[in-house]
Structure 1
Amino acid sequence: MNLVITGSTSGIGLETVKALYPLFDKLILPVRNLEKAKKLVSQFDHPEKFDCLKMDLSSMESVHQAGKHIADSYDQIDLLINNAGGMFPKGKKTKEGLDWSFAVNHLGHFHLSQLLLQNLIRAKGKLVFVSSEFHRMGSVKLHDLGLHTSSSSWKNYSDAKLYNILTSNQFHSMYSEKGLASYSLHPGAVNTSFGSESDPLSKIFITITKPFFISPQKGAETSIFLAKSNKDELQSGGYYDKKKLKSPSSKAKDAALQDKLYDFSLQQLEEILS
C-alpha cells in the first residue's frame, strides 16, 4: 500500500508517519525541506520505504510538478493525508499572488488531491484533510473566496480550515460512488511550531496558551485512527474529533458553498497554471 502525507517532517505529521510506517509499502513525502526529510527517514530501519520529493504548498507550480510525478510513479495511492498547514500574517502574498494562508492551507492541498484523484480511485482509497475546530469561526465570503481582505491571521486560518471541510465533503459528494472515501478532522490544540510564521500578536497569544496544548503524539491520534480503520467503520464525508464522528458547523455542511469553492479553486488553478 502507498501513503502520501504532507507536513511529514515535524509535529503531528511526523507522529503520523511513525505510526503508519509499518503498515505501508511506500511512504511518499512531498516536503519543502528535502534535506531535512532525507535526514529524518535515514533514522528508520528501512529508509528505502520512503520516497521524498520537493514540494512547496505555497507554489501551485511546485505542487503541480510534484503531484504529476507522484501520479505517474504510483498507479495506486491508498491514502493521502493533507496534513500540512499554518497561520500566516494577513496580507502576505505568494509569488503567484495568492494569499499565503489560502495557498498553503487550501489550494495546494486541493490541487494535490485533484492530481492524485485517479490514483486514489483505483485503490478505492482514503483522502484525509486535517482541519480544525477553528472552522467554526470561519466564513465563506463569496466576494473574497481567495481571502485577500481578511481582517486577521486568525480569521484567514479559520476560513481556510472551513474550506478543508467543505473540500472533503465535495470530494465525498463527487467520488464516493467510485470508491473514494474522504474525511476531515480536528487534531486538537497541539504543542508544535504552529503559529511560528504568524503575526507578533498571534505569536504572543499562542505562547501564553501553549501550556494547555496536547502533545503531537496525542494530536496525531485521529489521523492515525482514520488511516487504520476499515472504511465500513467510518462515515465518508464525516468530520472527526478525538477519533469520533462530530457534527461540524452548518456552514461546513452547505452544499452550495462546496460547489462555489470547488469551482473557484479550479478557476484559480487554471489562471495560475495556464
Structure 2
Amino acid sequence: MTILLTGSTSGIGWETLKTLYHHADQWILPVRNIQKAEELFQKLPNQDRLKIYQFDLSNIKKTHEVAAEIKSNHPQIDVLINNAGGMFPGGKKTAEGLDMTFAVNHLGPMALTKALLPTLSKKTSKIIYVSSEAHRIPGLDLNDLMLDNYSSTITAYGAVKLYNILASKYLTSQGYQSYSLHPGAVKTAFGAETDPISKAIIRATQIFFISPRKGAETTIHLIKTPLEGLQNGAYYVRKKPKKTSQLAQSVSLAQKLWSKSEETLSKLGC
C-alpha cells in the first residue's frame, strides 16, 4: 500500500504516521521543512519506506510542480490524506496574492489532489480531508468564495473547513471514494501563526483539548477500515458519520467551488 500524507511532522499527522507506519509499504510525505522532517523521521525504522518531497501549500505553483513529480514517481496511490492546514491572520496574503488561509487549507490541497487524480483508483483508493466542526461557523460570502476580501480570521477558517467537506463531496460525485472528518479539538501548535486575539483564545481553551494521538483516531479509522465498511462522501466525527451543516450538503455549491478554484489554478498556470 502507498499512502500520501501532508502535515506529517507534527500533531495529528505525526501520530497517524507513527501508528500506521507498518500499514504501508511506501509513505509519500510532502513537507515544508526538510531538515525538521529528516530529524524527526530518524525515529522510524526502515527509512526506505519514506519518500520525502519539499513543498509549501501556500505556494500553489510549487505545489503543482511537486505533485507532477510525485505523479511521475508513484503511478499508484492508495490513500491520499489532506491533513496539513493552519489558521492565519485575517487578510494575510501569499506571494501569489491569495488569502493565506484559503491557499494553505483549500487551494494548495486541491492543486495537489487534482494533479494526483490519475494515480487514484476510483474503485479502490481513498481521499481523506481533515476538516473541522468549524465548518459550521456562519459568515460565508457566496460571492467571494476565493476569500479575497475576508478580514476575520475565524470566519475565513470556518470557510476553508467547509471547503474541505465540499471538495470531498465533489470528488465523490465524480466517482472517487472520498471522506472528510473532524479530529476533535486537538492540543497541538495549531494557531501559532494567527493573530494575537485568536491565539489567546486558543491558548485559553486548550485545557479542554484532546491529545494528538486521540485526535488522529478518526483518520486512522478511515485508513484502516475496508471500503465496504465506510460511507462514501460522509463526514466523520469520532469514527462515525455525522450530519454536516446545510451548506456542506450542497452539491451545487461543491461544483461551484471546484469550478471557481479551477479558474484560479488556471490563472496561476496550474
The interval holding the TM-score normalised by the smaller chain is over 0.9
Shift of 1:140: 4.2
**In 2: Cα distance, 1:72 partner to 1:124 partner:** 20
Partner SS for 2:120: helix
Q: What residue number does 2:250 align with?
A: 254
* 1:35-76 CA distance string (max 9 Å, x none): 111112222111110001101000011111110111110110
Q: Partners in 2 of 1:251 and 1:142 — Cα distance?
A: 10
Task: Indicate conservation of the 8 Å contact 1:60/1:273, yes or no.
Answer: no
Aligned position for 1:269? 265
Shift of 1:151: 3.8
State the partner residue of 2:40: 40
**Cα separation, 2, equivalents of 1:138 and 1:116:** 32
Q: 2:86 maps to which residue?
A: 86
Write the mapping of 1:1-274 to structure 2, written as runs, cut at 5 A: 1-121=1-121, 124-138=124-138, 140-175=140-175, 180-273=176-269
The 2-side partners of 1:148 and 1:64 are apart by 21
| Structure 1 residues 218 and 47: alpha-carbon distance in aligned structure 2, compared to 1, 3 A threshold | same
2:122–2:177: 8 Å Cα contact kept in structure 1? no
What CA deviation, in whole Å up to 9, does each residue of 1:165-223 have, x standing for no partner? 00000000012xxxx31000000000000000010000110110010000000000000
Distance 1:224 1:156 in 2: 27
Q: Provide structure 1 residue ranges, at least 5 long, that are not aligned to the other structure.
A: none
Per the normalisation by structure 2, the TM-score is 0.98
TM-superposed CA distance for 1:265, in Å, is 0.5
Distance 2:44 2:85 in 1: 25
How far is the alpha carbon of 1:121 from its aligned partner?
Answer: 1.8
Does structure 2 retain, via aligned residues, the 8 Å contact 1:139–1:162?
no
RMSD: 1.1
User: Tell me, what secondary structure is at the counterpart of 2:3?
Assistant: strand
CA distance in 1: counterparts of 2:153 and 2:132, whole angstroms:
15
Q: Which amino acid aligns with 2:58?
A: S
AA aligned opposite 1:229: T
1:60 & 1:67 partners in 2: Cα distance?
Answer: 10
**Given residue 181 of structure 1, which amino acid in structure 2 is its aligned partner?**
Q
Whole-angstrom distance in 1 between the partners of 2:75 and 2:265: 24
Q: CA deviation at 1:150?
A: 2.0
Q: Is the 8 A contact 1:140 1:257 kept in 2?
A: no
Identity, % of aligned pairs? 48
Q: Contact 2:4–2:80 (CA<8 Å) still a contact in 1? A: yes
Measure, in 1, the Cα distance between the counterparts of 2:123 and 2:42: 28
Kindly tell me the number of residue pairs found equivalent between the two proteins. 270
Describe the SS at the equivalent of 2:64.
helix
Letter of the 2:35 counterpart:
E
1:116 aligns to what SS in structure 2? Answer: helix
Q: TM-score by structure 1 length?
A: 0.96
Contact kept in structure 1, 2:15 and 2:213, CA below 8 Å: yes
| Secondary structure of the structure 1 residue equivalent to 2:27 | strand
